[in-house]
């Protein structure tokens, strides 16, 4: 397990409580440990580190010295994290301090990955896409200049699934970005299968640990194992205009998780070329999990808006007051086999299909 950690505190709305990294004199062991307690307050970054170090121990028979840095500012847009902002400056100072402390102990610092979980405050993806690319490029350049490493740093991107605000364009944009640049941005998927607080905005404490652990498994599959099919996504969409059937091919064999309440058609919505919804009559998993078929009630006419939405139902309804768990956009598609096992409660960690829009 990770043997050292550094907490950077929580930035809340209002005046930013600035960090003072120069006052950090050393490292402390991670407070969060694997436990059966379902209220264990393990951060996403710590959860990922558990799995990453476990992978190293299992495969390489050793555990690298690991430092987990948590940086958070709740309820803010990605613009607050942009280069030359206070939060970005604080992150750079913290990185420099961590590197100096490690170097003083005879270690050569190396940043393995960035685990990025943000997006609820961004309503459209047009500027989010460009902002996350610019942030990654600048931060990676600054990190590599400080550490002297020559290997680029992958970013793990998690989709927000709270949906008390309208951010469906952001999650769709993130999904498309990860498909287009899979080695730079590793899609770690949604959180709609995890327990949320009653406000339907914040995940429960235990959910952070589970999401983090799954993120670590995605990193191992994509970065270390270099699997061609490292994460779950849609590989292709084909339409049989004669039979009115859409065939969707996932990257990994899938199954239906009926413990999640069906939001309607397992979370699928289909639109014709004019953007009009076409009713689905049946959804099936065929070919031993390598295909999902959507049987349509009528022809899905071609056009610029012809598409399949997954786990976006009601997500596009603006100003919708969601007071029930069933109001959270979600789907029922997950991997047939888990990516691994949680170190916190020994439960299987499946990949769940991301929120997505696929044009065909």
Per-residue burial over 268-277, b if 16 or more Cβ lie within 10 Å, else e, is bbbbbeeeee
356 lies in some domain: no
Q: What is the pLDDT of residue 225?
A: 94
Q: What is the pLDDT of residue 85?
A: 84
Identify whether the C-beta of residue 81 lies closer than 8 Å to the C-beta of residue 55: no
Q: What is the pLDDT of residue 328?
A: 65
Q: What is the pLDDT of residue 125?
A: 59
Each residue's pLDDT tens digit, 282-335:
999 999 999 999 999 999 999 999 999 999 875 444 444 555 555 567 899 999
Residues 185 and 249 reside in one and the same domain = no
Q: What is the pLDDT of residue 318?
A: 43
Residues 182 and 272 reside in one and the same domain = no
CA distance 332 to 266: 5
Residues 180 and 258 reside in one and the same domain = no
Place of tokens 């730079």: 184
179 lies in some domain: yes
Q: And the tokens for 108?
A: 């050569």
Identify whether the C-beta of residue 240 lies closer than 8 Å to the C-beta of residue 300: no
Of the candidates 141, 156, 171, 146, the residue with the CA atom closest to the CA atom of residue 330: 171
Of the candidates 211, 195, 206, the residue with the CA atom closest to the CA atom of residue 35: 206
Q: Residue 279 sits in which domain range? A: 234-337
Residues 166 and 34 reside in one and the same domain = yes
CA distance 37 to 100: 36
Residues 42 and 114 reside in one and the same domain = yes
Q: What is the pLDDT of residue 230?
A: 94
CA distance 340 to 58: 13
Q: What is the pLDDT of residue 124?
A: 60
Per-residue burial over 246-256, b if 16 or more Cβ lie within 10 Å, else e, is bbbebbbbbeb
Residues 50 and 107 reside in one and the same domain = yes
Identify whether the C-beta of residue 347 lies closer than 8 Å to the C-beta of residue 47: no
Residues 139 and 64 reside in one and the same domain = yes
Question: Phi, psi at residue 179, to the nearest 5°?
Answer: -70, -35
Per-residue burial over 25-58, b if 16 or more Cβ lie within 10 Å, else e, is eebeebebebeeeeebebbbbbbbbbbbbbbbee
349 lies in some domain: no
Q: What is the pLDDT of residue 344?
A: 78
CB atoms within 10 A of CB 60: 10
160 lies in some domain: yes
Residues 216 and 257 reside in one and the same domain = no
pLDDT values of the chain reduced to their tens digit, one per residue, 360 residues? 333 344 433 334 445 566 677 777 887 776 555 554 544 467 788 888 889 988 999 999 988 888 887 776 677 788 888 888 888 888 888 889 999 999 999 999 999 999 998 877 776 656 788 889 999 999 999 999 999 999 999 999 999 887 566 567 788 889 999 999 999 999 999 998 988 777 777 777 778 888 999 999 999 999 999 998 999 999 999 999 999 999 999 999 999 999 998 888 999 999 999 999 999 999 999 999 999 999 999 999 999 999 999 998 754 444 445 555 555 678 999 999 999 999 878 899 999 999 999 999
| CATH code, domain with 36 | 3.40.50.1110
Residues 173 and 255 reside in one and the same domain = no
359 lies in some domain: no
Residues 251 and 201 reside in one and the same domain = no
> 3-state class of 155 per DSSP?
strand
Q: What is the count of structural domains for the chain?
A: 2
Q: What is the pLDDT of residue 167?
A: 66
Q: What is the pLDDT of residue 72?
A: 67
Residues 193 and 52 reside in one and the same domain = yes
Identify whether the C-beta of residue 313 lies closer than 8 Å to the C-beta of residue 269: yes
CA distance 268 to 49: 34
357 lies in some domain: no
The residue among 224, 258, 278 that closes a domain is: 224
342 lies in some domain: no
Residues 6 or more apart in contact with residue 260 via CB below 8 angstroms: 192, 193, 330, 331, 332
- What is the DSSP code (8-state) at residue 335? E
Dihedral sign for Cα 82, 214, 269, 325, please.
Answer: negative
The residue among 205, 224, 243 that closes a domain is: 224
| CATH code, domain with 320 | 2.60.40
In which region does residue 133 sit, left (phi positive, over 0), alpha (psi from -120 to 50) or beta (all else)? alpha
Q: And the tokens for 336?
A: 């047939």
The residue among 224, 257, 276 that closes a domain is: 224
Share of the chain above pLDDT 90, in %: 53
Residues 220 and 328 reside in one and the same domain = no
Half-sphere exposure at residue 73, Cβ-oriented, CA atoms within 13 angstroms: 21
350 lies in some domain: no
Strands, DSSP E only, in the chain?
4-11, 67-73, 114-117, 155-158, 185-189, 234-240, 245-250, 254-256, 268-271, 277-278, 280-286, 291-296, 307-310, 333-335, 340-341, 348-349, 356-359
């Amino acid at each position: 397990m990770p043997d050292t950690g550094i907490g950077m505190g929580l930035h809340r709305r209002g005046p930013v409580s600035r960090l003072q990294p120069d006052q950090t004199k050393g490292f402390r062991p991670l407070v969060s440990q694997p436990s059966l307690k379902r209220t264990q307050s393990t951060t996403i970054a710590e959860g990922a580190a558990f799995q990453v170090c476990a992978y190293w121990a299992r495969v390489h028979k050793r555990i690298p010295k690991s430092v987990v840095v948590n940086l958070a500012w709740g309820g803010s847009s990605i613009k607050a994290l942009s280069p030359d902002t206070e939060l970005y400056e604080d992150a750079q100072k913290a990185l420099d301090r961590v590197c100096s402390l490690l170097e003083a102990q005879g270690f050569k610092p190396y940043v393995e990955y960035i685990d990025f979980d943000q997006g609820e405050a961004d309503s459209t993806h047009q500027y989010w896409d460009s902002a996350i690319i610019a942030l990654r490029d600048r931060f990676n350049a600054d990190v590599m200049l400080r550490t002297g490493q020559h290997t680029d740093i992958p970013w793990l991107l998690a989709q927000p699934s709270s949906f008390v605000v309208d951010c469906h364009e952001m999650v769709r944009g993130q999904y498309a970005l990860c498909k287009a640049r899979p080695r730079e941005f590793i899609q770690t998927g949604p959180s709609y299968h995890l327990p949320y607080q009653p406000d339907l905005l914040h995940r429960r404490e235990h959910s952070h640990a589970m999401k983090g652990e799954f993120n670590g498994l995605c990193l191992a599959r994509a970065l270390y194992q270099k699997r061609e099919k490292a994460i779950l996504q849609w590989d292709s969409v084909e339409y049989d205009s004669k039979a009115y059937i859409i065939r969707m091919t996932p990257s990994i064999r899938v199954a239906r998780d009926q413990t999640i309440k069906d939001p309607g058609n397992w979370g699928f919505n289909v639109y014709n070329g004019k953007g009009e919804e076409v009713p689905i009559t049946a959804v099936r998993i065929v070919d031993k999990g390598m295909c999902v078929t959507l049987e349509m009630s009528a022809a899905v006419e071609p056009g610029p808006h012809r598409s399949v939405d997954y786990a976006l139902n009601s997500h596009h309804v603006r100003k919708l007051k969601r007071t029930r768990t069933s109001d959270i956009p979600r789907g029922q598609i997950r991997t047939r086999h888990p990516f691994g096992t949680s170190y916190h409660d020994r439960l299987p960690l499946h990949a769940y299909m991301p929120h997505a829009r696929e044009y065909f």
